[in-house]
Amino acid sequence: LIFEALKLFVLCSLFSVQVISMASALSLFIKQGLQAKRTLPLAMQVMSNSSYASGAKYVSKEPLTSILMELHDTPGALHEVLKYFWKYDVDITNIESRPTKHDGSFEFYIDFQTCEDDQTTNKLLNVLKTQSSKLMVLDERKVPWFPRHISDLDLVANRILDAGTDLEADHPGFLDPVYRERRVGLAENAMKHRYGEEIPHIDYSQEELDTWAAVYDKLQSFIGEYACDEYLKILPLLSEHCNYNRDTIPQQADITRFLEKRTGFALRPVAGLLSSRDFLNGLAFRTFFCTQYIRHHSKPLYTPEPDIVHELMGHVPMFADPDFADFSQEIGLASLGASDEDIQKLATCYWHSVEFGLVSKGGVNGPKKAYGAGVLSSFGEMEYACAPYRPAGGVEEYPEYRKWDPKEACKQEFPITTYQPIYFVAESLSDVKDQMRLYCKNLQRPFHARYNPNTRSVWVDRAVSRDDALPVEENPYSK
């Protein structure tokens, strides 16, 4: 019986179901006496029928109901409640428990899928009233708007903070009318794109190809020495399947086909910079918003903004690595419906990892390798961040290296126009992913989300109501 109770206890833990206590788990079997062997399959069936255990059954628009019920800590109390969900074939999506401040009772927050037949839901609620000392149907949790299906990214892709054409006066291309016109054309193409369409082929000019070649050649001098092993493993495959070379700017449609086969990631054209919330929300669907313009030809080794060199030479190879892809999606899922404060923390973690992260098998004092796109796409910063000598990257001083810890990284401010003064160093990409997953798990999130790659939708475990704050503006390029 103890072994069977342990199995149920572990099962509940796996599905975020907090049983009252180990003793209560054991009581499920003691109460049934000789019928204990039939009780475990019953409990397991309740769990396996739940959407938490089988997210593929869930249709994202199905409503959820949240209840708060109070149970006395008596043998079999939890079992008596769960069996009615099984009886009425109602899927539980989330259970949380906490002790009350009086008489040793426990409060349970339970979210479950609302039945199409209201009578079934009402029958369940009525019988639960007889099993609890208190039962309340709770209002849905209000959260910021977030996409539920990958096609919802169409609603945020054009909410850019700049149009990709609004150049600052100190931008190398500010006074070049031809360059500015080119940026406008690429922005229009990106804004026309919709989910399900293939990314159109872009004919880059010889001037743009020469700019790409200049940066590509310069990066080769440092990538072999300072890029992480995963990056170096992927780069030849990109050359083979996506035409990565000095003479051709790879096409995003080819890259997407390659990434989808390896990790399920895809690129999506974007006209300019998005807000942190919108950008991170895309990662939840394994979608990376990607620019299509390139820096000005007058300064091929400098860019004041992310461009296609940064995206394709920095980000893309890493999205082909399973650990990195999972880690990136972990940040994205945590951003869905998150508070503004948590969005800021997640975006800062993203900066110190996906953009400027380093790995070292020897810890912060060992030889450093880059996995962050901001380092991998900048030959100067790659040398500055990873080289064991000075001067490096044109700088005499060493940066500060800290052990990767999302709890600390999320609070660390950073500059955006200079080399980073502080780099966070992980032992491996697996270490980056595991620590970020633990950090996200401990965030005070309004719900937990799971991505279903078959339906390309997210499933949430609690009843939530999305804020209607998403502006609905007519896209001039949608007609």
Closest by CA to 162, choosing from 287, 341, 293, is 293
Going 333 to 452 to 149 to 202, the CA torsion angle's sign is positive
116 included as an active-site residue? no
- Catalytically annotated residue among 208, 355, 381, 383: 355
Identify the burial level of 317 via C-beta atoms within 10 angstroms of its C-beta, where 0-12 means exposed, 13-18 middle and 19 or more buried.
buried
Q: Which residues make Cβ contacts (< 8 Å) with residue 465, sequence separation at least 6?
A: 140, 141, 142, 143
Q: Which residues make Cβ contacts (< 8 Å) with residue 85, sequence separation at least 6?
A: 46, 91, 92, 112, 124
Residue 70 CA, distance from chain mean position: 35
Q: Report whether the peptide linkage leading into residue 391 is cis, meaning its omega lies within 30 degrees of zero.
A: yes
- Catalytically annotated residue among 315, 378, 381, 427: 315
Report the distance separating Cα 254 and Cα 261, nearest Å.
Answer: 11
Report the distance separating Cα 362 and Cα 13, nearest Å.
Answer: 34
Query: Residue 427 gets which letter from DSSP?
Result: S
310 included as an active-site residue? yes
- Catalytically annotated residue among 105, 377, 378, 457: 377
Strand, coil or helix: 175? coil
Helix (H) or strand (E) holding 38: helix 36-49
Question: Are the C-beta atoms of 130 and 123 separated by less than 8 Å?
Answer: no
The single residue listed with the structure tokens 């039939």 is 38
What are the tokens at 211? 């700019």
Question: Are the C-beta atoms of 296 and 194 separated by less than 8 Å?
Answer: no
377 included as an active-site residue? yes
Catalytic residues: 310, 315, 355, 377
